[in-house]
Structure 1
Amino acid sequence: MENMQAPSVGGVRLPRGNGETLRLRRGASLTDFAEKINANPASLVQAMFHLGEMVTATQSVSDEILELLGQEMNYKVEMVSPEDEDRELLESFDISFGDPGSSDEELMSRPPVVTVMGHVDHGKTRLLDTIRKANVQAGEAGGITQHIGAYQVMTELEGTERPITFIDTPGHEAFTAMRARGAKSTDIAVLVVAADDGVMPQTVEALNHAQAAGVPIVVAVNKIDVEGANPAKVRQQLTEYNLVAEEYGGETMFVDISARQGTNIESLLEAILLTADATLDLRANPRMEAQGVAIEAHLDRGRGPVATVLVQRGTLRVGDSVVAGDAYGRVRRMINEHDEDVTEALPSRPVQVIGFTSVPGAGDTFLVVDEDRVARQIADRRGARIREAQNAAKRKRVSLEDLDKVLKETNQLNLIIKGDNSGTVEALEESLTKIEVGEEVELRVIHRGVGGINESDINLATAENTIVLGFNVRAEGKAAEVANREGVEIRYYSVIYRAIEDIEQALKGMLKPEYEEVELGRAEIREVFKSSKVGTIAGCMVTDGIMRRNAKARLLRDNVVVAENLTVSSLKRFKDDATEVRDGFECGLTLSSYNDLKVDDIIETYEMREKPRA
């Protein structure tokens, strides 16, 4: 019977479980926990207080706190992953995300989806330009592709015209989050390596993403027309990363190309199709309701939220009710990569969708549902879940022991990030939050969004003492005036690594200065004089460095420190006051009001200098 008694924490009686499992979502509150076990939330708050955690009943709490409470009450707490939670949410609306076991008759072949990856400056954008005959690079700041776009090209293989879908991923390492996301919706990765440069750190990084995503790789050895090009060296280097060329007996197709001159581009497209046919069974059911992924999304001044979506199965049609992440809407219009209106999009087809009520996130799954009401409910539930998970992640555990530290002023840099599209904003936030300059300074992103900087952003910045960071966007209308009036700093950027460098410098500037001890000199006491006016005077010979008036000093006797934190209060050379006395000279000095001085003692002087931070 003893085991069945309610456990007591700090005098608070709590219901006791029998070891059963409680499933809770990320960012759940104590109220959610209490509902599961039919308890009073106030008693859980009180119990947590006695366990050294201060939590309110309705705030999102971390997984550790929920698990700690579960252990005390003999419950096993299982945190539901966002994917499982999303699946359960869709099942509650009688929707299954995934191919519901289509029969072979319903499946039709679909084009491969290709991501081009590789080191910066190895010619990815030039290759994509050459493939689609459009110059993206000229409009890019710093020559880096900032947005993820997607388009289809046609190529001929064995007399048949076949389409290939390209996802355009950015090249700088700060966009790793977006690039990884691009790989998740990809069938084949094209790894671009410059023949004159060979395998570089970002080449390996891109390769790791592709291999982690489990996609076949085609290697494009670019710049074969450049002096010093050595395609054989590239093949040799990549064997170390388990990419063995077909001519070496491996399975990876290598194609030597020149993106600048357009050499062997058709061969590369053929290699992509041959790899797809050999290693992948690319089929999808076009008759079901559309499902897929939002590759990119931005806020257009004239058209509202615009999302580039890649249909993975089913057919997307104008008029469909859609939900993507926590955004929903109805497809009012679909536009292809040639800026032409289309009425339907088949599997592997990328289109821009107009009609969302808000901007979806890059990488959000989208699906078609029966009616607008269902789409709105799913989006609202997802939105609430995302907010709770973010609140739980942002909240730091505050125990009673370190409450004192928390209450003291901490150096915190608050940021509002606004950008031209969701992928960029997400990548920028992820890069900034990874900056590490020590525990004394904290970076906090209090708001992020897509579109121009508006008055509400400035008002939030005023309240929170915040810097507003605009990436490829500007302050709208009155927002700039309000910012000037309120003294809110707005920083504009068009290249991501400049933003990261600036914020890192700002954080380092907020650090408290660090000081290090620098030894000035040593003097040996040869005589000790008593004075009724100034106390004990040491007659010294400076053996090393200098003795300086007002310098800090310590006293050593037989190499043991006998007095610390002393000051050279007076310093004389014969009868004259001196500012400093160098080695090899004699001097007389007094050490504050310290009088226990003996012949042969050593006086060591030093100063504290500010240390430059690494």
Structure 2
Amino acid sequence: GLFTGHLELREDALEALGLAVLVVAADDSVMPQTIESINHAKAANVPIIVAINKIDKPTANPQKVRTELLQHEVFVESMGGEVLDVEVSAKNHTNLDKLLEAILLQAEILDLKANSNRTAEGTVVEAELDRGRGAVATILVQKGTLTPGQIIVAGDQWGRVRALVNDKGEHVKSAGPSTPVEVLGLSGTPAAGDKFAVVENESRAREISEYRQRLAREKMVARQSGSRGSLEQMMSQLHASGMKEFPLVIKGDVQGSIEAIAGALEKLGTDEVRARVVHSGAGGITESDISLAEASNAAIIGFNVRANKQARDAAERAGIEIRYYNIIYDLVDDVKAAMSGLLSPERRETFLGNAEILEVFNITKVGKVAGCRVTEGKVERGVGVRLVRDNVVIHEGKLKTLKRFKDEVSEVQAGQECGMAFENYEDIRAGDTIECFRVEHITRTL
């Protein structure tokens, strides 16, 4: 299905899927990403099933959603159209069986069948760099059956399938048509929407991968040289058009969000100024990103990721500011404001300190408590905290407890050990970092 969070499933991927499930929140109705998803589905000429989610909320208004969908030419059955709609609550599992029934019914009418007795083909839904597991791609098998040990090419990356993991985190022996699985063993992260296919041997896989990487590089060089040209051309273009460039280095947690950010920033350009993404990639911010930003005079943006210690030190030496975001709209608004030279005073985070989790203890009636050492700065109670795993933000919230020995304390300084537990969050592991920050209002600069 096509979920509003995954806009990067492009038309070609959608055509292969044959059916799109549009998830719309009943309490805030049709959002910009919903409209984009509708346009993708229409461009691919794929039938839509509307899942109106969050109907358990008191502010839910499913009828408003149906009426707003009319403006985008999505006519549900109750409004005299042919689009199936189901009111669901993912939280309470309400009507999820009816949604599955609607999907099966639509698939039967459209005669959507696939051959499972052939080599596997499909689409990459998402990809990320994971600690300990390397490059992990979430794929949807569309034809054939994929098994561990097979060699696949996904976009411009290749690899031998080390393991297949289903949505419950279980390792599976095979994945047939319409099965989404995580694939371990790729050489790098492919882009969301890329096709994948099984190939006969490693040399063939390497050959295809290298050819596609070369094509991508050539395209990038052409785009860069096309946008810059020679020094004289650049000067004459600047004088003639008054066009200014706003260079950016973007690092994100997953490939899909990076594509969405780059796409949103491209649309910001005016006749006078436009954003230029010098480099983008999945994973934490490294020293090489800092040196690239320094060389190209770019601002560094981290979306749900953090810079490692060396990168932070290098950024401080070079006087480069790294800005962190977890909401795409905030990021786009900030870049837009910076491009127009109007950065308004707004909420801003001040980094207080980092603590490394040495060990995790299970305590009855309390839950999981992390035994930590404060590695830099200090940790305070009552301020914001984040759990960071391999420079990627896993959770953001508040501390339930902060203890030194057996006493609750208000703050713990660098070099000291303490016990911490998050409110309503238990997935903590030894080796993770807890980042502590304070939110304040100051005038921003980029």
TM-score between both structures, scaled by the size of structure 1: 0.50
The separation in 1 between residues aligned to 2:102 and 2:244, in whole angstroms, is 55
Read off the aligned partner of 1:396 and give its amino acid letter. S
CA positional deviation for 1:396: 3.1
CA positional deviation for 1:225: 5.8
User: Alignment partner for residue 481 of structure 1, among 304, 313, 335?
Assistant: 313
Q: 1:531 is matched with which residue?
A: none
Task: Determine whether 1:389 maps to 2:222.
Answer: no
Task: Determine whether 1:469 maps to 2:311.
Answer: no
The within-5 A match list for 1:101-250 is: 114-117=1-4, 169-170=5-6, 176-177=7-8, 183-184=14-15, 186-193=17-24, 203-222=34-53, 235=66, 238=69, 242-246=73-77, 250=81
Residues 505/203 of structure 1: CA separation in 2 closer, same or farther (3 Å cut): closer
The separation in 1 between residues aligned to 2:333 and 2:64, in whole angstroms, is 34
Task: Determine whether 1:252 maps to 2:86.
Answer: no
Q: Check the 8 A contact 1:411/1:510 in 2, yes or no.
A: no
The within-5 A match list for 1:540-555 is: none
Q: 2:108 is matched with which residue?
A: 277
Residues 375/225 of structure 1: CA separation in 2 closer, same or farther (3 Å cut): closer
CA positional deviation for 1:370: 0.9
Residues 232/501 of structure 1: CA separation in 2 closer, same or farther (3 Å cut): closer
The separation in 1 between residues aligned to 2:251 and 2:25, in whole angstroms, is 35
CA positional deviation for 1:287: 2.0
| Pairwise CA RMSD | 3.2
Residues 287/178 of structure 1: CA separation in 2 closer, same or farther (3 Å cut): closer
CA positional deviation for 1:232: 5.5
The separation in 2 between residues aligned to 1:307 and 1:458, in whole angstroms, is 27
Q: Check the 8 A contact 1:182/1:295 in 2, yes or no.
A: no
* Structure number with bigger Rg: 1
Q: Check the 8 A contact 1:221/1:254 in 2, yes or no.
A: yes
Q: 2:184 is matched with which residue?
A: 354
Q: 1:444 is matched with which residue?
A: 276
The separation in 2 between residues aligned to 1:230 and 1:498, in whole angstroms, is 26
The separation in 1 between residues aligned to 2:317 and 2:18, in whole angstroms, is 52
The separation in 2 between residues aligned to 1:510 and 1:230, in whole angstroms, is 37
Q: 1:289 is matched with which residue?
A: 119
User: Alignment partner for residue 328 of structure 2, among 490, 496, 502?
Assistant: 496
Q: 1:424 is matched with which residue?
A: 257
Read off the aligned partner of 2:255 and give its amino acid letter. S
Q: 1:267 is matched with which residue?
A: 98
CA positional deviation for 1:183: 4.0
State percent identity of aligned pairs: 48
Residues 300/406 of structure 1: CA separation in 2 closer, same or farther (3 Å cut): same
Paired positions, count: 340
Q: 1:300 is matched with which residue?
A: 130
Read off the aligned partner of 2:256 and give its amino acid letter. G
Q: Check the 8 A contact 2:54/2:90 in 1, yes or no.
A: yes
Read off the aligned partner of 1:421 and give its amino acid letter. V
Q: Check the 8 A contact 1:414/1:467 in 2, yes or no.
A: yes
Residues 225/340 of structure 1: CA separation in 2 closer, same or farther (3 Å cut): closer
- In structure 2, stretches of 5+ residues that fail to align are 344-446
Which piece of structure 1 moves more, 473-482 or 401-410?
401-410
The separation in 2 between residues aligned to 1:355 and 1:289, in whole angstroms, is 18
CA positional deviation for 1:298: 0.7
Read off the aligned partner of 1:508 and give its amino acid letter. S
User: Alignment partner for residue 435 of structure 1, among 261, 264, 268?
Assistant: 268
Q: Check the 8 A contact 1:437/1:507 in 2, yes or no.
A: no
Q: 2:353 is matched with which residue?
A: none
Deviation sequence 1:150-183 (CA, Å, 0-9, x none): xxxxxxxxxxxxxxxxxxx35xxxxx44576874
Read off the aligned partner of 1:427 and give its amino acid letter. A
Residues 223/478 of structure 1: CA separation in 2 closer, same or farther (3 Å cut): closer
Deviation sequence 1:531-551 (CA, Å, 0-9, x none): xxxxxxxxxxxxxxxxxxxxx
CA positional deviation for 1:295: 0.9
Residues 245/470 of structure 1: CA separation in 2 closer, same or farther (3 Å cut): closer
CA positional deviation for 1:216: 1.7
Q: Check the 8 A contact 1:189/1:210 in 2, yes or no.
A: yes
User: Alignment partner for residue 378 of structure 1, among 198, 208, 214?
Assistant: 208
- In structure 1, stretches of 5+ residues that fail to align are 1-113, 118-168, 171-175, 512-614
* SS in structure 2 of the partner of residue 509 of structure 1: coil
CA positional deviation for 1:425: 1.1
Read off the aligned partner of 2:20 and give its amino acid letter. A
CA positional deviation for 1:231: 5.0
Read off the aligned partner of 1:480 and give its amino acid letter. R
Q: Check the 8 A contact 2:249/2:301 in 1, yes or no.
A: yes
The separation in 1 between residues aligned to 2:14 and 2:220, in whole angstroms, is 25
TM-score between both structures, scaled by the size of structure 2: 0.68
CA positional deviation for 1:411: 4.0
Read off the aligned partner of 1:253 and give its amino acid letter. L
* SS in structure 2 of the partner of residue 344 of structure 1: coil
* SS in structure 2 of the partner of residue 328 of structure 1: strand
CA positional deviation for 1:311: 1.1
Deviation sequence 1:321-372 (CA, Å, 0-9, x none): 1111111111112211111112221111111111111111111111111111
CA positional deviation for 1:453: 1.1
Residues 225/315 of structure 1: CA separation in 2 closer, same or farther (3 Å cut): closer
Residues 367/471 of structure 1: CA separation in 2 closer, same or farther (3 Å cut): same
Q: 1:92 is matched with which residue?
A: none
Residues 306/256 of structure 1: CA separation in 2 closer, same or farther (3 Å cut): closer
Residues 481/345 of structure 1: CA separation in 2 closer, same or farther (3 Å cut): same
Residues 185/500 of structure 1: CA separation in 2 closer, same or farther (3 Å cut): farther
The separation in 2 between residues aligned to 1:205 and 1:310, in whole angstroms, is 21
Residues 402/370 of structure 1: CA separation in 2 closer, same or farther (3 Å cut): closer
Q: Check the 8 A contact 2:268/2:274 in 1, yes or no.
A: no
